[in-house]
Amino acid sequence: MKKTTDVLTWLKGSPTWPLYFHEFRQNSAETDVNETDGSGLTLLHYFAESGEAGCAQDWISRGASVDAADDAGNTPLFFACCYGHADMVSLLLKNGANPSAKNREGLTALDYAMHLDESNKNREVIIDLFRDCSPELCLSAYCTEVS
């Protein structure tokens, strides 16, 4: 069986990696769901980046940490916000992702969501998700943005 790190490298380079993940998942009951690649990224980070909520839910149900941070301090929630995947943001928050976590630059995932292009239809949806789960974080982010 391939180590997860090898699979991460292999999956990331493939345009159809979610299909390969499905096959990998079916054949690897003892896989460490929190294993990282050379940058500290887990498969959940990749799912968050690509918006693969179904794969992410499966991985979370297997024990993947929703707050695993990469070498820059970014959690899967940061990736979901940065790429405007509202369904992924919702999934991560419902599964206990910390909305107040800060990366090494001192930014939160909400900071990334607020910098999405205003034409992105998911921008306000994501901000509303944060408002619902962490109103104080939204207030502080909006106040910082205004000043």
CA distances from 31 to 7, 26, 38, 136 (A): 11, 11, 17, 38
- Tell me the domain boundaries of the chain: 4-146
Phi, psi of 97 (to 5 degrees): -60, 140
pTM of the predicted protein model:
0.79
The DSSP letter of residue 116 is S
Mean pLDDT of the chain: 81
SS3 per residue for 8-31: HHHHHCCCCHHHHHHHHHHCCCCC
The answer to whether 78 and 56 have CB atoms below 8 angstroms apart is: no
CATH topology for the 4-146 domain: 1.25.40
Scan for tokens 């299909």, then name that residue.
Answer: 19
Higher pLDDT, 34 or 73: 73
pLDDT tens digits for 9-34? 545 555 555 555 555 566 556 678 88
User: Is residue 140's pLDDT more than 70?
Assistant: no
